[in-house]
């Protein structure tokens, strides 16, 4: 079973708010983890990789809990331009197949003035 | 041009038509992918090519036929599609398949409508 689950939202927040997205994955053998961002009617783009020790990129913080098979993304001081769908993505290797990305359905964020 | 390009951006076709989607990457990558994105569903991997060789076919119906003539180009040939095949078809590329931190770069997609 290969699944990545996310709360679909939408999350409607005011500018300046802090918002957190969660994601769980089913395959404990997953090797690497990412958050992608997809704007309306556009292609997905890598937002950030997620490392075991947690990592930060400006207003964005990603956390990984391998024991609970849980990934999170925290956005601080949200901007109007953060409005998008955030995709949780996991790299599985299984049955000799490697390097395949498994995508969650995405969490939609709408930041309001 | 840079990145990953796809043509056409929009396509409307009947169930008896034959059409092809084209993808080109200008990143010098060795792996290319076709994904299908339907409303309210996650991206579904359809095909993977590594160094122009198909390495994975995720149980995709034979009415979808991929072709990778070289490492920069990828095609998806379509014939006798069904209305439920209407979706956004995304092409992506990555440096290679085996790397754990395997960032994939996506093209803008072809929005396909099957009547």
Which pair of tokens denotes residue B5?
Answer: 């390009």
Taking an 8 Å cut-off on Cβ atoms, the answer to whether A44 and B90 are in contact is yes
Give the closest-approach CA distance of A16 to chain B in angstroms. 28
Give the mutation candidate from B9, B42, B49, B110 for the A interface (greatest A CB count, under 10 A): B42
The pLDDT of residue B40: 81
Order of strands, sheet of A4-6, starting from the edge strand that comes earlier in the sequence: A4-6, A19-25, A70-75, A60-65, A55-57
| Chain B residues touching residue A46 (CB < 8 angstroms) | 103-105
Q: Residue B12 is encoded by which pair of tokens?
A: 């409307």
**DSSP-derived 3-state class of residue A22:** strand
Contact criterion met (CB below 8 Å) for B7 and B64: no
How far is Cα A76 from Cα A61, in angstroms, rounded to an integer?
8
- B34-51: per-residue pLDDT in tens? 999 998 889 999 999 988
pLDDT at A61: 97
Which parts of chain A register pLDDT below 50? none
What does the mean pLDDT of chain A come to? 90
Distance from CA of A33 to the nearest CA of B (A): 8
Instruction: Report the pLDDT value the prediction gives residue B99, as an integer from 0 to 100.
Output: 63
The shortest C-alpha distance from A47 to chain B (Å) reads 10
Q: How many CB atoms lie within 10 A of CB B50?
A: 21
Contact of B39 with chain A, judged by CB distance below 8 Å, is answered with no
B96 interfaces chain A, CB cutoff of 8 Å: yes
Residue A54 CA to residue A23 CA, distance in Å, equals: 15
A103 and B43 in contact by Cβ < 8 A?
Answer: yes
Give ∠ CA B110-B100-A107 in degrees, rounded to 5: 50
Query: pLDDT 10s digit of each residue in chain B, 115 long?
Result: 569 999 999 999 998 889 999 999 999 999 999 999 998 889 999 999 988 788 777 789 999 999 999 999 999 999 999 999 999 999 999 988 766 567 899 999 999 999 9
């Amino acid at each position: 079973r290969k699944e990545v689950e996310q709360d679909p939202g939408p999350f409607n927040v005011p500018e300046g708010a802090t918002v957190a997205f969660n994601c769980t994955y089913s395959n404990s053998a997953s090797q690497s983890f990412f958050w992608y961002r997809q704007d309306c009617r556009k292609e997905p783009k890598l937002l950030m990789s997620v490392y075991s020790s947690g990592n930060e990129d400006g207003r964005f913080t990603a956390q990984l809990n391998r024991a609970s098979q849980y990934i999170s993304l925290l956005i601080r001081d949200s901007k109007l331009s953060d409005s998008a769908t955030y995709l949780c993505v996991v790299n599985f290797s299984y049955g000799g197949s490697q390097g395949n990305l498994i995508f969650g359905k995405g969490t939609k964020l709408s930041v309001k003035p | 041009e840079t990145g990953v390009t796809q043509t056409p951006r929009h396509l409307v076709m009947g169930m008896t038509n034959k059409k092809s989607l084209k993808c080109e990457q200008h990143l010098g990558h060795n792996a290319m992918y076709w994904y299908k994105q339907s409303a309210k569903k996650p991206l579904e991997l359809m095909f993977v090519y590594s160094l122009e060789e198909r390495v994975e076919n995720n149980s995709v119906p034979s009415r979808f036929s991929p072709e990778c003539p070289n490492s920069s180009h990828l095609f998806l040939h379509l014939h006798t599609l069904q209305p439920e095949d209407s979706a956004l078809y995304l092409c992506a590329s990555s440096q290679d398949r085996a790397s754990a931190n395997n960032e994939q770069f996506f093209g803008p997609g072809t929005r396909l409508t099957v009547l």
